[in-house]
Amino acid sequence: MHNISLGSTLNPEGPNRSWLSPSGDFAFGFQPLETNSSLYLLAIWFDQIDEKFTVWYANCTTAVSPGSSLQFTLNGTLCLRDSTGSEIWGSQIAGGAYASMNDNGNFVVYGADGSPTWQSFTTPTDTILPSQELVSGTILHARLMDTDCSNGWFILSLETNGNLTFYTVAVPTGFQYDSYWSTNTSGNGGKLVYDTNGTIYYALENMQHPTIDILPAEMDSTDQYYHWAKLDPDVFDNSGHCWKKKLPLSNGNEGSEVQRTVYLKVPKDNHSQTLLNIEVSTKWKTNRKDWILGGSIIIGSSVFLNFLFISAHFLGARFRATREKNHLRAWTRMMTRDFTYRELEEATNGFNEEVGRGTSGIVYKGYLHGEFDTSIAVKKIIHRIPQETEKEFTMEVQTIGHTLHKNLVQLLGFCYEGSESLVYPFMPNGCLTKFLFSGKRPSWDLRVDIAHGVARGLLYLHEECGKRIIHCDIKPENILLDDNFIAKISDFGIAKLLKAEQTKTSTGIRGTRGYFAPEWFKNVRISSKVDVYSFGIVLLEYAAGGM
């Protein structure tokens, strides 16, 4: 074991950047960010692999710059200070006499008697290692992305009541949704154990054998899981309380306690089908009264059938719209919140403060208390052509509701009541147009960072998300800046979704004059290059606007 003495110091640059374990497998120290090599995390990582995978970090939201330091102070604590000397993070427990980076990935501060006073294994972030145990009250929080260690969507929590639970949270508000898996265990002192054999299990206090196996030591072939995924559901499976309600009935009987009633319309007999034959005589000798009667029947029947057809059309359209709304609510319930009109009215103080207006909607500033506790921007959709408005609203919810990237605006929720509304985090620095032409002179470094952010957002839309997305309306007004001047692409109302294997598509011309790519006017299939062209126009304005 390599002991680290009191007063030892690490710096982001230079030879004293990290402390290694005896085997060299793990390192504790300053690790540069993948997205910005001039910023550093205090972390523990695998040092003998090319990826340098991080297993623990201290300061994910406050990365430090060169000139920062980590000191093992004389009172036995770890203290991380930034380049100004301000303390960013500390172990807070005094009394340490020496420390070591162990070969199991645990960094430990020991007291004079050799007992641990602080260790990284008791303050995990998103990873557990062999020989590590999670005790009651511990939380593992997934990263937002591989390159961004801020808190993401998923949490593993060992609750104080002894229940091991997985659940999702909203980003960035942190609102906690219902758990989607748990052990349903209870009791004080439970622990999650990852032993050196590679087995993860849950055990109660003072028990060395598993109460519940979480992961077997040897995994079976994954072929069976792929096979299961391709199978049709069992005919008697009524998950979600849904089953077939038309002939032929195919759901089986699991037991006598299953009681279901289905109402079906069937014909009484062969005579129930009546044929109506109307014979129109071609002879001009037909009585005039017969003509009037026959014409009245035909005209009346025609009017009645037209009325039925029109009624069915409108009822069907209304049913489809309701079904699409319900489907959209269910589709996005894990990612966004379905607000009521009253909630948004209260949050915006009666839609009092207007902060923006465009062709598709009016934006109001508001504040959500309680679970969100954040400033918001509520975009009320302007109804021009109802079908197009509904289509744009649905497209924006489905597109941005299931995307997650640092450089895309995050959809917090939506509202169907009254005028459809979309809810976003409030961007205090407004859009790129306001930033460039406000009379201020932004530095070149800041301008380059913003441009890189937009480019990263487009790369994610075009190449990295589940379904490729062509934004179709890249312009300065649709690029927002948060309080740290991080660029966020917004307004996905006219975006075009592509299938995974699809690179081009046919669609009508869409976008804003002045930012159209030439392809729009050539009657050819368009690709993500139309966004790249529009971004090029933005860059020209961007460079000129800051001169």
- The larger pLDDT score, comparing residue 531 to residue 291, is at 531
Q: Which residues pair with 375 in a beta bridge?
A: 367
Contact 473, 511 (CB under 8 A): yes
* Helix, strand, or coil (residue 323): helix
Mean pLDDT of 499-522: 81
Tokens of 368: 């959500």
Determine contact, residues 261/277, Cβ cutoff 8 Å: no
Q: Is the pLDDT of residue 334 over 70?
A: no
pLDDT of residue 183: 79
- pLDDT of res. 386: 56
If you average pLDDT over residues 401-405, what whole number do you get?
77
Pairwise CA distance, residues 515 & 460, whole Å: 21
**Mean of pLDDT over the chain:** 78
pLDDT at 257: 46
pTM value > 0.85: no
In the chain, CATH 2.90.10.10 sits at 1-123, 129-219
Residue ranges, comma separated, of all CATH 3.30.200.20 domains in the chain are: 337-425
366 CB contacts (<8 Å, ≥6 apart)? 344, 347, 348, 349, 353, 375, 376, 377, 378, 426
> Is a pLDDT exceeding 90 seen at residue 457?
yes
State the greatest distance between any 2 C-alpha atoms of the chain, in Å, as a whole number.
124
Q: Selecting from 1.10.1740.10, 3.30.1370.60, 3.90.550.10, 1.10.510.10, what CATH number does the domain 432-545 have? A: 1.10.510.10
Mean pLDDT across 323-330: 47
Give Cα separations from 455 to 171, 406, 486, 505, 526 (angstroms): 22, 12, 12, 22, 19
Q: How far apart are CA 464 and CA 457, in angstroms?
A: 10
Alpha-carbon distance of 401 to 69, in angstroms, equals 40
The phi and psi torsions of 295 (rounded to 5 degrees) equal -65, -40
What are the structure tokens assigned to 79, written together? 């203290």
Q: What is the pLDDT of residue 468?
A: 83
The region of weakest confidence among 176-180, 226-230, 317-321 is: 226-230
Mind listing the pLDDT tens digit for each residue in 201-214? 887 765 555 555 55
Q: Which position has the higher pLDDT, 249 or 421?
A: 421
Residue 406 counted as an annotated binding residue = no
- The answer on pLDDT for 323 being more than 80 is no
Q: How many CB atoms lie within 10 A of CB 38?
A: 11
CATH of 1-123, one of 2.90.10.10, 1.20.120.1730, 1.10.3720.10, 3.30.1330.40: 2.90.10.10
Q: Which of 178, 234, 290, 473 is catalytic?
A: 473
pLDDT at 295: 60
Q: Which CATH number fits domain 337-425: 3.20.20.70, 3.30.200.20, 3.40.50.720, 3.40.50.300?
A: 3.30.200.20
Closest CA to 174 of 195, 200, 152, 201: 152
Q: Please spell the DSSP secondary structure of 275-307, one letter per residue.
A: ----PPP--TTS-HHHHHHHHHHHHHHHHHHHH
* CATH 1.10.510.10 domain span(s) along the chain: 432-545
The pLDDT, as a whole number, for residue 236 is: 52
Give the DSSP per-residue string, 391-460.
HHHHHHHHHHTT---TTB----EEE-SSS-EEEEE--TT-BHHHHHTSS----HHHHHHHHHHHHHHHHI
Mean pLDDT score, 334-354 = 83
Of the listed ranges 94-103, 193-202, 272-281, 367-376, the one predicted with least confidence? 272-281
Pick the CATH number of 129-219 from 2.60.40.10, 3.30.1860.10, 1.10.3720.10, 2.90.10.10: 2.90.10.10
Main-chain dihedrals φ then ψ at residue 49, nearest 5 degrees = -125, 155
C-beta separation of 354 from 363 below 8 A:
yes
Which tokens sit at 539? Answer: 């860059």
Share of the chain above pLDDT 90, in %: 27
Instruction: Look at residue 403 and tell me whether its pLDDT is greater than 80.
Output: no
For residue range 247-281, what is the model confidence (pLDDT) as tens digits? 666 555 544 445 555 556 666 555 444 433 434 34
Confidence at residue 99, expressed as pLDDT on a 0 to 100 scale: 96
Q: Supply the pLDDT for residue 533.
A: 93
> Catalytic site residue 473?
yes
pLDDT at 317 over 70: no
Q: Which residue, 256, 261, 265, is CA-closest to 243? A: 261
Q: Higher-confidence residue: 361 or 7? A: 7
**Closest C-alpha among 291, 298, 292, 306 to residue 276:** 298
| Rounded distance between C-alpha atoms, residue 361 and residue 396, angstroms | 13
Per DSSP, what are the bridge partners of residue 122?
none
Residue 286 pLDDT class (50, 70, 90 cuts): very low
Tokens of 310: 């029109």
Stronger pLDDT, 455 or 419, i.e. the higher one: 455
Identify the pLDDT of residue 122.
Answer: 92
Residue type, 7: G
Top-confidence residue, 516 or 373: 516
**What distance in Å separates the CA atoms of residue 114 and residue 96, rounded to the nearest whole number?**
9
